[in-house]
Chain A
Amino acid sequence: MKNTIYLFAYGLLFGLGLIVAGMSNPAKVLAFLDVAGAWDPSLALVMASALLTLGLARYLMHRNNDVADREQEPSAIVPAGVDAKLLVGAGIFGVGWGLSGFCPGPALLGLSAGVLGNYAFVAAMFAGFWLFRLLHQR
């Protein structure tokens, strides 16, 4: 039960962070990606702040040996080093991100706003997850 409350709280904190940072709005994300237009660099600060916070926490955890070997790659498949899958996958993701302004977190968070295009995006995203499993995990 305690476990569950923690996980829920972490997800909540993550979501509130996205909202506070403005990343939950695709228009703001697109303004960050539109370097040639009215560029909004603030999302670089979001990433820098997240990296600094997590980096510091990781440093403290490592000092206390709290980061175990069990830590996983953010991946279903875990190839060592950079390969074609990584490059092609990241490249395809970027195109989808640039077309919409949505990456997975903000898209899921936005569901409660009840916008049709948001539903379409999330449904198709899960279809994409499933397509990957169908094509590459047999």
Chain B
Amino acid sequence: MNYLTILSALAGGAMIGLSAALLLLTHKHTAGISGIAAGILPPWRADSVWRCWFLAGLLASAPLYRLGGAGIPLDLDASPGLLAIAGLLVGYGTRLGGGCTSGHGVCGIARLSARSIVATVTFMLTAGITVFIVRHLL
């Protein structure tokens, strides 16, 4: 890690934390992306609307960033088939576990939720083990 990597990690993290704090302050919502995204599936309710606007902002961030002239590296090593399997596991797993990296890992831990701490340790562990198996054993 060089200074630039450290600085951008800290700055990016602070922006994520600030976004979650503002969403909590003005709308009393948790910035958990899996929960927000799952909530836009039909049937549509009044509750679906705020989710769509938040996600629209999230989706707009990449093209807007590119407008500034900088590229966004996106290196996907896995095949589309494997990515589909991974996506299914992420979708089902985050709903069953009640959150993802943002909902449990940031918002939950920030309010010292025991559930979120346990969930975060669990998904970090299984993710690390999965990467180890794929990269070093297979």
Residue numbers of A with Cβ under 8 A of B are 3-4, 6-28, 30, 33-37, 40-43, 45-55, 57-58, 61, 66-68, 70-78, 81-82, 85-105, 107-113, 115-118, 120-133, 136
Contact A85 to B63, CB < 8 A, known contacts A95-B126, A99-B82: no
Report Cα–Cα, A110/B61, bound state, in Å: 10
The answer to whether A107 and B59 have CB atoms under 8 Å apart is no
The answer to whether B16 and A14 have CB atoms under 8 Å apart is yes
User: Which residue of chain A is the closest to B96 with respect to CB atoms?
Assistant: A89
Q: Can you list 30 A-B contacts (CB < 8 A)?
A: A7-B50, A14-B16, A14-B31, A16-B61, A22-B5, A22-B8, A27-B77, A30-B131, A37-B136, A45-B6, A46-B12, A57-B18, A58-B111, A61-B21, A68-B28, A70-B28, A71-B30, A74-B32, A85-B96, A91-B125, A94-B124, A96-B89, A96-B90, A97-B127, A99-B89, A112-B59, A120-B80, A120-B81, A128-B88, A129-B41
> Which among A42, A76, A94 has the highest number of chain B CB atoms within 10 Å?
A94
Residues of B near A26 (CB, < 8 A) are: 74-77
What sequence of 0s and 1s flags, for each residue 26-44 of chain B, a beta carbon within 8 Å of any chain A beta carbon?
Answer: 1111111111011101000
User: Which residue of chain A is the closest to B103 with respect to CB atoms?
Assistant: A74
Closest CB in chain B relative to A50 CB, distance in Å: 4
Closest CB in chain B relative to A55 CB, distance in Å: 5
> Which among B29, B94, B136 has the highest number of chain A CB atoms within 10 Å?
B94
Residues of B near A20 (CB, < 8 A) are: 8, 11-12, 15
The answer to whether B109 and A51 have CB atoms under 8 Å apart is yes
Report Cα–Cα, A116/B74, bound state, in Å: 12
Report Cα–Cα, A13/B59, bound state, in Å: 11
Report Cα–Cα, A11/B19, bound state, in Å: 7
Residues of B near A125 (CB, < 8 A) are: 37, 87-88, 90-91
